[in-house]
Amino acid sequence: MTFWSVRRAAAGDAVQIDDLLRRKAARLEALDRRLLLPRRAAGRPGLVAVDGAGTVAGHLRPHLVELTEDDEMRSFAAARVVSWRELAAASPEALAALVDAARVPGAADAALWPAVDGEAPAVFARFAMKPVFVLALRTAGPLPSGPAATVRLARPGDLDAVCALHLEEVAFHEPHTPYVRVVPALVPALRSRLEQLWSGADDASTVHVLEVDGVVAGMCESHVQTVSDEGGQLLPGRYSYLNSVAVGARLRGQGFGRTLVSAVIDDVAARGVDGYTLWFALDNPLARQVWPRLGFRPLWISYERRDLPV
């Protein structure tokens, strides 16, 4: 049995690390043409698993993310998370040695991995990590609408209705998953984004509302972002990221979500985008049914291990 020692990567390891990353990229890109994975370690030195002969059989760059109480991301992420970056391993034993070395007491673990990799759930399960969030991508192109309703840009008079819908959307998750929680910072953060938007300081974002019988009954926040670097989560291009999509409980399941997203897609398409992205929680029983119906296909999965309850 090979014994793996783990140490900080040194300059002389670069060729072997890049070879591991190249092999991983080639395997996964062949499975999903929407991926373009990094072929070299770009960040600060990570950890390497090395056998007795000095062969590098694994690389992982642990990155500790710490969120303060007043960060709205606490709705979705633990306070301290070790994010596993530039992970590639030639054997399960080398991976296990790296994971052992990367763990930080009291911190959760998270790894973003291509959704197409059917072997990943079993591999991550060995480290008590489960698939929690999906980053889904919809390619450009119109979406047939649902029932007729008004979809328009939100205006200052909609502030309370939009905040209430956002709160309702996040709260909807709570009975289904411990990984999403309403935190006090959630609504103030949205308020401040809306104020920025209405002041004209943010021309990359839009917030649309759905009106049914003259009442605001849905919202969708979107943000256009340009990806220029290769080796990120998305191929280089322009994407509209849908941050918060909600239809009030009374009207769900009647096609209004489709109407809302279809109109947002029409509006955003005028800005020239290559696709639309959004995150959803796998334990959200509506999201996992709705998004595939609207053309969003899983691209990345965030595997996580947290000490629960959060």
Ligand X SMILES: CC(C)(COP(=O)(O)OP(=O)(O)OC[C@H]1O[C@@H](n2cnc3c(N)ncnc32)[C@H](O)[C@@H]1OP(=O)(O)O)[C@@H](O)C(=O)NCCC(=O)NCCS
Among residues 14, 36, 167, 286, the one that binds ligand X under rule CB under 6 A: 286
Determine if 297 is a binding residue for ligand X (CB under 6 A). no
Strand partners for 215: 212
Determine if 55 is a binding residue for ligand X (CB under 6 A). no
In this complex, which beta carbon is closest to ligand X, that of residue 142 or of residue 253? 253
Determine if 172 is a binding residue for ligand X (CB under 6 A). yes
Among residues 276, 280, 296, 303, the one that binds ligand X under rule CB under 6 A: 280
Task: Kindly give the residue spans of alpha helices, DSSP state H, lying in the chain.
Answer: 14-31, 92-102, 120-125, 159-173, 186-198, 256-269, 287-293
In this complex, which beta carbon is closest to ligand X, that of residue 27 or of residue 252? 252
Position with the least CB separation from ligand X = 257
CB under 6 A: which stretch of 79-87, 134-142, 224-232, 250-258 binds ligand X? Answer: 250-258
Dist CA 222 CA 208 (whole Å): 8
Stretch 120-159: interaction string toward ligand X, x if CB under 6 A: --------------------------x-------------
Please, are residues 182 and 72 in contact by the beta-carbon 8 Å criterion? no
Nearest to 237 by CA among 143, 137, 114, 115: 137
Dist CA 176 CA 221 (whole Å): 23
> Among residue numbers 64 through 123, which ones bind ligand X (CB under 6 A)?
none
Dist CA 89 CA 59 (whole Å): 6
In this complex, which beta carbon is closest to ligand X, that of residue 231 or of residue 255? 255
Dist CA 291 CA 134 (whole Å): 11
Q: Which residues form the interface with ligand X (CB under 6 A)?
A: 146, 169, 172, 245-247, 252-258, 280, 284, 286-287, 289-290, 293
